[in-house]
Structure 1
Amino acid sequence: MEMANDKYRDVVADSIANYVARVPKALDARTSHAAKSVLVDSLAVSLGALGHPAAQRARRHAYRFPMKEGGSVIWGTLQRTTPELAALTNGVLLRSYDYNDFFVGKRNSGHPSDMIGGVIAAAEWAGASGKELLSAIAVGYEIVAAMFDSFSTYPGGWDYTNLTSIGAASAIATVLKLDAPQIREALAMTVVPHLASDEIESGDLNARGDLTMWKRFNGSDAVRNALQACLLASVGVEGAVRPFVGKYGFIGKLALKEDTIPELLQLLNPEKPLSRVAETYMKRWPVGSVAQSAIQASLAARAQIKDLSQIKQLRLFAEEGAYEHLVKIRENPFQPISRETADHSLPYIVTAAVLDGFIRTESFDPERVLQPSRQAFLRDKVTVEPAPELGSLAGGKLKRAEAGYLSRVEIELNDGHVIKGEARPFPGHPKNPFIDADLEAKLRENAAPWGGEERIERLTDQLFSLDTLTNTRSLTELLAFDAPIDTPVQGEELAES
């Protein structure tokens, strides 16, 4: 029997499971604070997106499966649903405005905070303490960081969520106190049934001229699947025997190289304390990561201009990755027609920053995007060029990210004077990190319009003292409120809840 077990052993599944079960869950002060910061940032983003069309549709689905007792809160409402549906529904909020954190590893990048909705739903359902929630988040980020360093999803055309789901399963398993054999089965049921294609990043536009709405669901769907896998494993359900290294397993399907497995195993050292949640990048503005430096440079230049009518030309010089992602591969980036085409257009993003003096979620409202004067400025006065000296594709994404996805701006006035916005790491970058006041401001700015100043002040206090809470439900009670968030979407009347 032992020979059979050895023959069908999956070293990746076993190693991750053993690591998650064995790694000490006590956090040092730096890691605990980083986990709290992730929660503050994630809830700021989530509560600010309560009115987004994708979030409304997710709630319409969840409302059909109410739970009067138990279950998990549907954020921004007084209703509850199953933990899995709460993970899906609340997780959509995180990706609605492309405003949550991101992590760049040696071989992959993505948004580890996708897991937050699912981890909170599991903690609420299980009655976990605040300290246990923080530890689970730290475990999840540790696994995501290791996966991003070891594996690339790009060769097979797969989405990053295939890797973040493994971190989510690890975090949720920690909350649910699964043992190593159960964690192994949960991992098997996470990675084999739910391979996600990167087709959502194709840039194809739907009938409304938007990118696919599923981009707002893909992360939370992966986390929902991870939560379901953990719940199934907790009652004895078993997954594939060799989910990672089998003939048709995860590594083979994603066209990953098996020679990266030793690197992953080396990273999964339970003797080292949890720490990598502190390495995540955060965003000051609700657009993709590669546009953050460009916004900073544009706002800095704009602050020096007294009369915007005197602008003759706005020239943006962007590192090659930003140019590739937000100009070259986009359809008509100088003529956006919707929210999604605008917030994925580097020319429009810098135009909005200069004309308005800010970038907020309303910067991409269709009526603002389509203003004739704005479209004319964008068409006639804005140029964007790749600047390999700021970051090159050949140098790799990690190097560009570590520099800060740099962009610089030159604004030429009618009198020939040129005003410059320098290329610098953006707020939230490890070289220009948020302080607590920045996080509090982001939470207040995004969440107070929905939850009210008093509630958000209490939420802020509770998040920064989370390790003193005996039950996570004290936190989720503050996320349960009756906000006016269910309104007609795209001409449809929302179903009664």
Structure 2
Amino acid sequence: MNTTPDRLLQALAAFSRNASLACDASVERAVEAALLDTLAVALGALTHPAAVAARRYARHAAVAQGATLWGTGERVTAEAAALVNGVPLRAYDYNDLYIGKSGGHPSDMVPGLVALAQWRGADGPALMGAIALGYEVAVALFDHLRLRNGGLDYPNIVAIACTCAAARLLDLSETQAAEALAITVIPHLASLEVESNDLNRRGDLTMWKRFNGSDAIRQSVYACLLAEAGAEGAVRPFEGRYGLLAQLELSEADHAALLGRLDPARPLEAVKRVTYKLWPVGSRGQSAIQAALQARSRIPDPARIASVRVLADEGVYDHLVSQRADPWHPVSRETADHSLPCIVAMALLDGRVDTGTFAQARVTHPDVRTVLNDKLVVEPSADLSGGSAAGFLARVEVTLDDGEVVVGEAGPPPGHILKPFSDGDFEEKLRVNVEPVMGAARTREILQAVRALHGADSVEPLCALLGAGAQGVEPAQPATE
């Protein structure tokens, strides 16, 4: 019998069970921000095709006393709600981001934790503490694990983090939390193939990218419920011969540092360290949009643009130009918002970037194609290559028809840790995205419910506000008794 312990499994289970959920005012504010940002992004994308497909699927899991589907008010199992409510969160690359040795979106876990808290009758402080705990685990894992070494995608990390948080919400024992983690990790490793940039039969990126994170969270909820019922997972899911860490070739120094980060005595503060986005484009495009809009504000008429030169962080250039199939001829929303040339062109031509910017008819319009194919060049710049820590910088130089050069300077974009959102910025993002869907009055009520969550004895009122009545969302179906 192999009695060698799985140290990481033990540390994660102990952290899940024993970390203090006491949140000081700054952490409460950061959790509220994560919730507001999550709701702004997800509710604003309820009509996305992936979200529609997810709701259609979830109706197989309808139950009268389940968790609420956002936008319709239908009740389904907590597992189905975790999947469905998380899909629109990833519709437009608009939610939060943290990058260490790996990078990903910690807020993917929020819809699943809300669903589980509602279903099990948890109060507001318990939900907020679980979110803070989940972020703590996610950031620690992002800081120390290089997922690309094993060809793995970021949902593997958010799934582990969510399992720790969900186990705490369910009041699982340390042993049960360990089994839930084992069930999470080994059967559900998410491949990086979803980020291959291969195009589907419509010439678009895979729709599964919109499901990838929330499917991982669904698996976390499922794993915790199985462990609660007595199911057991692999014995050494992290440090076993074929465990997760064997695939990542984690150094002993990084391993030891990660174990140190999972000390239950540490205060929960990592939720304060994530980056947010003002525009519905991946983080590597945010600085470029800021620079382009800065230049556009000084251009009286975009028809006067003679040429455009974009200088970008080398990592930005690699991710949004060289890796793309044809960034100069986007054919869909997703090939457009993953193209640095198109992102800059749209900001310069329209003077704004929002969820309607990259509609297929707009990005294939002749005025866009003229800028992309006749006027715009993109160059990688070593001088701007500070990566995520600097804000994925880009500079935009526009030459007008009279020879004047208008420059949008490189700088960290709004929402970056170097230029953080204010409370008002999160509230405005909620307003801009949710009012068209839920109306002004409901949007204000959602804001008030989130702000009051730290003292709420139930999350049910918030979930009720997130339910039925969203504009443009298909009607709810009758619940199964």
Query: Which TM-score bucket, shorter chain as reference?
Result: over 0.9
Q: Structure 1: how far apart are the matches of 2:319 and 2:396? A: 18
Aligned equivalent of 1:396: none
Q: Structure 1: how far apart are the matches of 2:364 and 2:397? A: 24
Pair 1:469 & 2:469 matched = no
What's the secondary structure of 1:210's corresponding residue? coil
What's the secondary structure of 2:392's corresponding residue? coil
Q: Which runs of 5+ in 1 are unaligned?
A: 392-398, 489-493
Q: Which amino acid aligns with 2:462?
A: L
Pair 1:83 & 2:52 matched = no
Task: Please report how far the alpha carbon of residue 253 of structure 1 lies from its aligned counterpart in structure 2 after TM superposition.
Answer: 3.3
Match of 1:270 among 259, 264, 270: 264
Aligned equivalent of 1:130: 124
- CA distance 1:466–1:487, change in 2 (3 Å): closer
Aligned equivalent of 1:455: 442
Aligned equivalent of 2:173: 179
Q: Structure 2: how far apart are the matches of 1:272 and 1:241? A: 27
- CA distance 1:303–1:211, change in 2 (3 Å): same
Runs of 4+ in 1 over 3 A off after TM superposition: 253-259, 484-488, 494-497
Q: Structure 2: how far apart are the matches of 1:342 and 1:487? A: 27
Q: Structure 1: how far apart are the matches of 2:12 and 2:144? A: 13
What is the TM-score normalised by the length of structure 1? 0.94
Superposed CA RMSD in Å reads 1.6
Pair 1:28 & 2:24 matched = yes
Aligned equivalent of 1:418: 405
Aligned equivalent of 1:44: 40
Q: Summarize the alignment of residues 111-260 of structure 1 with structure 2, pairs less than 5 Å apart.
A: 111-260=105-254
Q: Structure 2: how far apart are the matches of 1:9 and 1:485? A: 53
Q: Structure 2: how far apart are the matches of 1:112 and 1:160? A: 9
Match of 2:350 among 344, 350, 356: 356
What is the TM-score normalised by the length of structure 2? 0.97
Q: Structure 2: how far apart are the matches of 1:496 and 1:381? A: 55
Aligned equivalent of 1:491: none
Task: Please report how far the alpha carbon of residue 255 of structure 1 lies from its aligned counterpart in structure 2 after TM superposition.
Answer: 4.4
Give CA deviations for 1:72-96 in whole Å, capped at 9, x if unaligned.
0110002111000000001101101
Pair 1:409 & 2:396 matched = yes
Q: Percent identity?
A: 48
Q: Structure 1: how far apart are the matches of 2:290 and 2:282? A: 13
Q: Summarize the alignment of residues 321-400 of structure 1 with structure 2, pairs less than 5 Å apart.
A: 321-391=315-385, 399-400=386-387
Task: Please report how far the alpha carbon of residue 34 of structure 1 lies from its aligned counterpart in structure 2 after TM superposition.
Answer: 0.3
Whether the aligned pair in 1 keeps the contact of 2:72 and 2:474 (CA below 8 Å) is no
Aligned equivalent of 2:300: 306
Q: Which amino acid aligns with 1:30?
A: S
Give CA deviations for 1:315-347 in whole Å, capped at 9, x if unaligned.
111100100000011111111011110010000
Whether the aligned pair in 2 keeps the contact of 1:251 and 1:258 (CA below 8 Å) is no
Q: Which amino acid aligns with 1:171?
A: A
Whether the aligned pair in 2 keeps the contact of 1:169 and 1:190 (CA below 8 Å) is yes
Whether the aligned pair in 2 keeps the contact of 1:130 and 1:472 (CA below 8 Å) is yes
Q: Structure 2: how far apart are the matches of 1:310 and 1:463? A: 46
Q: Structure 2: how far apart are the matches of 1:235 and 1:193? A: 18
Q: Which amino acid aligns with 1:478?
A: L
Match of 1:66 among 37, 62, 69: 62
Whether the aligned pair in 1 keeps the contact of 2:74 and 2:477 (CA below 8 Å) is no
Q: Which amino acid aligns with 1:319?
A: D
Match of 1:94 among 76, 89, 92: 89
